[in-house]
Amino acid sequence: MSTTFPAYLISKTEDGQSTDLCTISTDDLMDGDVTVKVEYSALNYKDGLALTGKAPVVRRFPLVPGIDFAGEVISSENSQFKSGDRVVLNGFGVGEVHSGGFAGIARVKGDWLVSLPEAFTARQAMAIGTAGYTAMLCVMALESHGLTPDAGDILVTGAAGGVGSVAVSLLARSGYRVFAATGRPEEQDYLTGLGASEIVDRHEFSGKAKPLSRERWAGAIDVAGGNTLANVLSQMNYGGAVAACGLAESMDLPTSVAPFILRGASLLGVDSVMAPLEKREQAWRRLEKELDLDLLERMTVEIGFDGLPEAAEQILAGKVRGRTVVKIPD
């Protein structure tokens, strides 16, 4: 029996795509072996690109956007999940090539789901969302490189954004001295409240990078790419490492080999979308233990379903602070 529910639907048009808030039915969903009642979703940078059509994130039409969601299993043909289970989903092409979380109901492959950690409500899981889980993947990448708090200062770019806010709070709690790079000096109190030791003006990193500059960072988490990442690389201490996950400034990387061959710096790529299940579960377990839920609440804003189009424009304009959760209507 089919059920109807509200959803955003992105359709192809002659000159691009259109995004509409409408009512669809379970018959409109794509194939999958687990059906989930979505309670919360979140607005990520990629969702902003998908909803506005400013980059070709959506590659199958018509499609429900929303790259992550948390909720309760309604029905399952997958042996790992049963009706009533609490689950969370990040990535795997959901919201890009498979209908996602901006809808009352989602149908996905059970292999893409992670059990919702007991410590979190659906809202908290989405306050973390893909951005927060990616921040943890970045921390794990730096640790795998051997980074420890006594190695020196750590830089987080895009610090007032979603990945940045969670990264600052996780690193500070682990004892790192965190420098938060932001273009929003008015967020100084917010960032020091999350644990940043120093605030750095992001414009220090926006000019053309020299091959090498003064050594400043034992490690860094970069969400910007472009000149920012090139400058950060040129400032790495001998043997330092940058975990790079984003392109908020640019997809380009105008750097040279100098940081790698003269300072032994490492560039660690971080992808959350196709990360293997074991790594995802490890990241969620660590978030459960290490993320301060009071700080998480401080970085979270909740919006209603109809607020998504406006919030999508805001996140692309770099005006969204921290994380935005979306309450999905019943």
* Residues in contact with ligand NDP by the rule CB under 6 A: 44-46, 130-131, 134, 157-164, 182-184, 202, 223-224, 228, 245-249, 270-273, 315, 318, 320
Q: Which residues contact 189 (CB under 8 A, 6 or more apart)?
A: none
Which CB atom, from 183 or from 239, has the smaller least distance to ligand NDP? Answer: 183
Nearest-CB residue to ligand NDP?
161
DSSP notation for 196-250: -SEEEEGGGGSSPPPS-----EEEEEES--HHHHHHHHHTEEEEEEEEE---SS-
Which CB atom, from 75 or from 314, has the smaller least distance to ligand NDP? Answer: 314
Report residue 57 as tokens.
Answer: 């994130």
C-alpha closest to that of 235 among 273, 209, 199: 209
Nearest approach, Cβ of 176 to ligand NDP (angstroms)?
18
End-to-end Cα spacing for the chain: 18
Nearest approach, Cβ of 223 to ligand NDP (angstroms)?
4
Q: Which residues contact 276 (CB under 8 A, 6 or more apart)?
A: none
Nearest approach, Cβ of 54 to ligand NDP (angstroms)?
12
Nearest approach, Cβ of 150 to ligand NDP (angstroms)?
27
Which CB atom, from 24 or from 141, has the smaller least distance to ligand NDP? Answer: 141
Nearest approach, Cβ of 22 to ligand NDP (angstroms)?
26
Which CB atom, from 58 or from 270, has the smaller least distance to ligand NDP? Answer: 270
Which CB atom, from 48 or from 117, has the smaller least distance to ligand NDP? Answer: 48
Nearest approach, Cβ of 35 to ligand NDP (angstroms)?
25
Classify residue 197 as exposed, middle or buried by CB count within 10 Å of its CB (0-12, 13-18, 19+): middle
Sheet holding 178-182, edge to edge: 198-201, 178-182, 154-156, 217-222, 236-244, 266-269
The 3-class secondary structure across 56-79, one letter per residue, is CCCCCCCECCCCEEEEEEEEECCC
Nearest approach, Cβ of 157 to ligand NDP (angstroms)?
6
The two beta strands, 34-43 and 323-327, are antiparallel
Which CB atom, from 17 or from 300, has the smaller least distance to ligand NDP? Answer: 300
Which CB atom, from 5 or from 217, has the smaller least distance to ligand NDP? Answer: 217
Classify residue 30 as exposed, middle or buried by CB count within 10 Å of its CB (0-12, 13-18, 19+): middle
